[in-house]
Structure 1
Amino acid sequence: MNISPRHMAQLAVQKGADITLTQPDGWQFLGMGSPTWAKVPVGENTQLQIAAAFSAIRLISETVGTIPLHLYRRTSRGRERALDDDRYGFVHDQPNEYMTAVEWKEAMAVSLCTMGQAYNYCQAFESSGRIVSIQPVHKSRVRPEVNQAGEVLYHLTKRDGSALTLKRAQICPVRGFGGIGDLEGYAPHRLHSNSMALTVAVEKYGAEFFGSGGRPTGILNTKANFGKESRDSLRAGFAEYMRQSWLKGELPVLDSDTSYTPVSTPNNDAQFIETRKLQIAEIARIYRVPLHMLMEMDKASYNNTEQANKHFLDYTLLPYLKRIEQALNSCLLTRVERKTLNFEFDVRGLLRGDSTQRSEYYVAMRNAGAITQNEIRELENMPLIDGADDLLVPLNMAPSDLLRGLLKGKEGNP
C-alpha cells in the first residue's frame, strides 16, 4: 500500500484498533467520515468548516472561557474564595506553563462541543499528591476501558509516544451528553452527520454555481459521430472554453452543429436561500444556541440583553458549566475536602444587563438590606471605601415588635 507523505501526516490511529501495513483498517483520515445521504463525507473537522456551526462552537467555548472559575471554601459565616489554596491559582489564573485559564476553559468547551468529551492530565508530586500542572489532551489520545475488577482506567498516549495508564483523578474526564453506560459523550458530527452533510452540499452547490459565473450545468448536443475518447475530449474542451469565456467576460459562441441545453434546477425553484436559512436553524438546534446569536435575526424576539443572556445561560451554557464544575470537584478534591471546598463559575457578569437595570437591582438589594455599598462597588470594579460595609434597612422594614416598642415609648413621653 503506497501512502504519500502528505496523506501520511493526516492519518490518525483509531483507539483500540490493530495497525499493520497489510491491514490498514485502524487508520482513518482526519476530517473524513462515513458516507451520508448527501454523499458528502463528514468528519471531526467538518463542523468547524461550516460557518454556522463554527459560530455556535466559538460562541459557547469563548463564553465559557471568559467566565471566572473560583474555588470556594464554606465557613461558619457563609463562603469565601480559597485564595490560599494552590488549586485556586490553577483554575483561576494559569493551569499550566503554556496556557492561561481562559485558554484552558475554552479548550475544554471546544472539545465538549465537537467531540462530546474533554480530558485533563493532572500532574502531581508522587510524595505529596500536590498538583503541579493541569493540561488538556485531545480525545484521540485517551482510551477508557473497564478492567476485570470493574475499575475504569484511562490509557493516555503522550506526545513522545509513551503510554500511561491512569485513574480517573489523574485524567479528570469531563463527559458530555451521552447514553447510559457510555464512558464518553456523543460527538455531534457523528449523530448529525446527515444534517451537516446537507449544509456542506448546499454550500458546495452555491459555490459551484456562482464560481461558474451563474452558469447552470446542462447537456452538450452535437451531430458529429465520436467514440468515448473523442467524447471526453470534446467535453473537456467545451468546459475549458466556457471557463475562459466567463473569466474574460465574453459571450460563448457555438457552431451550427452544436447546441447546449441547461438541465439544472433554477435557484428559486430549489429554494436555495430558504434552504441555507433552514440549515442555520438546524445547526442552532444541534448546539442549542439561540438563533439570533448566530446572526440570523429574522425571528429575534428578546426585549433586552439581560433576557437574551439569561436564556443563553440557562439552556445552553449551564450544562457545560455544571459538567466542568463537578468533574473538577470529583478529581481535584478528595472526599473529605468536598465537604468544605467546591469549584464554581461566577456567572453574574452575564446577567449584569445595562446600567439602568443594574442600578435598579442595586437599589432594590440595598434597600432590602441584602447588600452593602462596598459590595456594590466591588461588583462595579470600583475601589472600596471606609465605613461602607454596614447593612442598612428602612425603618418601615424593621421587626414589628421593635416598632411597637418604639411607639409605646413615644406615648409614655410627654
Structure 2
Amino acid sequence: MNLLSIFRRGERRNNDPSWSALVNRGALSQSGQFVDAKAAESISAVWGCITALSESTACLPLHVYQRNDDGTRERADGHPLAGVLRQPNDYQSGLAFREAMTACVLGHGNAYARIDRNGGGELSALHPMKPGSVTVIRLASGRYVYDHTDDDGKVSRLLDHEVFHLADRTEAGSVVGKSRIQIAREELGVALAMREHGASTFRRGAFPSGVITAPAERNFTEEQIAKIRAIWRGHHEGGQNTGSVPMLLWGLDFKSVSPNLEDLQFIAGQKFSVEQVCRIFRVPPTLVQDLSHGTYTNVIELGSQFVRYSLQRWLSMWEAEVSRQLLGPIARKRYHAEHAVEGLLRGAPEARAAFYQSAIAAGWMDAGEVRRLENLPPRVVTHGGS
C-alpha cells in the first residue's frame, strides 16, 4: 500500500458518518469529568439500568419459527439459526452472548459480531467484536463495510453480510447507532463529579457528628486534648457503645452537628442523578432499587411499563435484526425469530396460572400447549376396558 492510498483511505474514513463516533469514544464534560462507557458504568444507576435491560432481554427464550402454508406456525428448532442462537460460539451460551451484545448497544450505541458460515453457506457461529475495534465505512456504491482491528493491530475488512450489527437509534443516512452515554455526557459528568465530591468529603471526614466545647477561661494543653479525645472515643465510638450516656468533666459540653443546607442539597442532587439516568435509559427507578416514589400498588404497574415501554424496544431489535441479517431473502419468507415473552411470568406462578387459565377459557390455547410451555410431558389418557 503506498502513501497516497493511505491518505485516501483516511479521507474516506473522515467522511464516514461513524468517524466521529470512533474518535470520540469519550469526551470531557463541562463538569471536568471524562465521560465514556467505562466511566459511566461506574455510576450505580447506569450499571443498574444497563443490567436490567440486558439481563431481561437475554433471559427470554429466542426461538425460530416456521410459517406453514395453512397459516399456522411451528418451532423450527432444527434450523441452523436456532442452533446458533442457542450456542453462538464455543465459548459463550446464547444467554451470555445476547446479554453482552445488548449491554454493548446500551453503553456504546453499537454491537458487532463476525458471522461464520460453513461450506454449504449455512450460519455456523457468531463471534462478538469490541465496538472500539470496528470502523463502519460507507463505500461509493452505498454499501457499508466494517474494518476490524484485532488485538495485534491487524486490520481486516469485512463486508456487510459478514457482520451482525445491532445499533441504537441512528441518524438519517447512517447505520451507526448513537451512544446514549455520549448524548447525555453532561448529565453523567455531573453525576461523576458529585460522586467524586462525596468521596473526597468523606475521605477528609468533613461530616462530624458533633463538637466538644470548653469554657472560655479553661485552657488545655495538647496532651490533655489528646487524652480527652482518646477517652471519648473509647467510651462512645463503636456499635457496642451505642446509646451510652456521655460523661463530661472540667466543664466540657457536647453539641451535635446537624446536616446543613449544602449537605441536604448534595443528597437531593444524588437522587436527581438517579432519576436522570433512568430517564436516559427509559427504566423505572424502582428497577434500580430507587423506591422513593414506589408503593405496593404502583411498583406492579411500573414493572408492567418496563416490559411494554422499556424492554419491548430491545426485544424487537433482536427479532428484526436476526431475521434481516442472519436469514436470506428466501428464508425470511418462511422463517422468523421471536421471543417467548411468557418467560417473563416464570418468576410469578400466580400470574402465570391466571394467564394460562384465561387463555384456555378464551379458546386460543389448550391444556396440551400449556404443558409444552411448562416443559411437562403430554398427558396420557387411559381408557378402561375388559
Please, what TM-score do these two structures have when normalized by structure 2?
A: 0.75
Letter in 2 for 1:144: V
Q: Name 2:321's counterpart in structure 1.
A: 327
Counterpart of 1:60 (choices 38, 41, 53) is 53
1:161 to partner: Cα distance: 3.6
Distance 1:317 1:41 in 2: 29
In structure 2, stretches of 5+ residues that fail to align are 1-11, 15-21, 209-225, 233-258
Of 66, 73, 76, the match for 1:79: 73
Against the structure 1 CA distance between its residues 328 and 360, is the aligned structure 2 distance closer, same or farther, given a 3 Å change threshold?
closer
CA-atom RMSD in angstroms? 2.8
Partner residue in 2 for 1:398: none
1:336 match: 330
Counterpart contact for 1:305–1:353, Cα < 8 Å: no
Q: Which amino acid aligns with 1:337?
A: A
TM-score, normalising length: structure 1: 0.70
Query: In structure 2, how many angstroms separate the alpha carbons of the residues matched to 1:60 and 1:94?
Result: 21
For residues 139-160 of structure 1, give each alpha carbon's deviation from its aligned partner in whole angstroms, at most 9, with x where no partner exists: 1121111112222111122344
Letter in 2 for 1:372: D
Shift of 1:107: 0.9
Higher relative contact order (CA 8 A, sep 6+): 2
Residue 108 of structure 1 and its aligned partner are, at CA, apart by 0.8
Question: 1:307–1:29: structure 2 CA closer, same or farther, 3 Å change rule?
Answer: closer
Write the distance in 2 (CA, Å) between the matches of 1:56 and 1:340. Answer: 36
Task: Look up the equivalent residue of 2:78 and give its one-letter code.
Answer: D
2:168 maps to 1:176: yes
Alpha carbons of structure 1 residues 378 and 280: separation in structure 2 relative to 1, 3 Å: same
Verify the 8 A CA contact 1:169 1:330 in the aligned structure 2: no
**What is the deviation of 1:356?**
3.3
The structural deviation recorded for 1:353 is: 7.0
Shift of 1:79: 0.9
Question: Which 5+ residue runs of structure 1 have no aligned equivalent?
Answer: 1-14, 18-26, 217-244, 252-265, 389-414
- Structure 2 Cα separation of the partners of residues 300 and 209 of structure 1: 30
User: Structure 1: which amino acid aligns with 2:271?
Assistant: K
1:313, CA displacement in angstroms? 1.5
Contact 2:286–2:299 (Cα < 8 Å) also in 1: no
Residue 378 of structure 2 corresponds to residue 378 of structure 1: no
Distance 1:249 1:382 in 2: 68
Note if contact 2:345-2:351 (Cα within 8 Å) is conserved in structure 1: no
1:318 corresponds in structure 2 to 312
Contact 2:143 2:160 in 1 (8 A): no
Number of the residue aligned with 2:98: 105
Question: Is 1:129 paired with 2:121?
Answer: yes
- Conservation of the 8 A alpha-carbon contact between 1:310 and 1:350: no
Which letter maps to 2:186? N
Query: Aligned-pair distance for 1:280?
Result: 0.4
Give the aligned residue type for 1:136: P
CA shift for structure 1 position 277: 0.4
Aligned to 1:48: 41
Q: 1:353/1:45 Cα in 2 relative to 1: closer, same or farther (>3 Å)?
A: closer
Tell me the CA shift for residue 378 of structure 1: 2.6
- Among 134, 140, 145, the alignment partner of 1:142 is 134
Amino acid aligned to 1:61: S
Q: Which string of whole-angstrom CA distances, capped at 9 and with x for unpartnered residues, describes residues 136-190 of structure 1?
A: 1111121111112222111122344433222222101111112212221111221
Q: Conserved in 2, the CA contact under 8 Å of 1:72 and 1:79?
A: yes
> SS at 1:45's partner residue?
helix
Q: Distance in 1 between matches of 2:39 and 2:33?
A: 10
Match of 1:7 in 2: none
Aligned to 2:197: 205
Deviation for aligned residue 1:330: 1.3
Task: Give the distance between the partners of 2:37 and 2:143, measured in 1 at CA.
Answer: 29
Instruction: Rate the CA distance shift 1:301–1:201 in 2: closer, same or farther, 3 A.
Output: same
Q: Show CA shifts across 1:206-244 (max 9, x none).
A: 11111111269xxxxxxxxxxxxxxxxxxxxxxxxxxxx
- Structure 2 vs 1, CA of residues 267 and 40 (structure 1 numbering), >3 Å: closer, same or farther? farther
The alpha carbon displacement at 1:367 in A equals 2.5
For residues 41 and 304 of structure 1, the distance between their equivalents in structure 2, rounded to whole angstroms, comes to 37
The counterpart of 2:286, out of the listed 275, 286, 292, is 292
- Give, as a single letter, the amino acid of the residue that structure 2 aligns with 1:379: L
Cα separation, 2, equivalents of 1:149 and 1:182: 14
Aligned to 1:303, the other structure's residue is in SS state: helix
Letter of the structure 2 residue corresponding to residue 106 of structure 1: E
SS at match of 2:205: coil
> How far, CA to CA, are the matches of 1:214 and 1:100 in structure 2?
49
Contact kept, 8 Å, 1:168 with 1:331, in 2: the verdict is no
Counterpart of 1:95 (choices 62, 68, 88) is 88
SS at match of 2:116: strand
C-alpha change, 1:180 and 1:210, in structure 2 (3 Å) is same
Could you say if the C-alpha distance between residues 208 and 85 of structure 1 is closer, same or farther in structure 2, counting changes exceeding 3 Å?
same
CA distance in 1, matches of 2:230, 2:84: 61
Change (3 A) 1:267 1:103: farther
Counterpart amino acid of 2:297?
A: N
Retained in 2: the 8 A contact 1:309–1:351?
no
Counterpart in 1 of 2:9? none
Distance verdict in 2 for CA 1:307–1:111, change over 3 Å: same
Q: Which residue of 1 aligns with 2:223?
A: none
Identical aligned residues as a percent: 26
- Is 1:272–2:305 an aligned residue pair? no
Aligned residues between the structures: 317
The CA distance in 2 between the partners of 1:29 and 1:115, in whole Å, is: 11
Give the deviation of 1:29 after TM superposition: 11
User: What is the Cα deviation at residue 386 of structure 1?
Assistant: 2.5
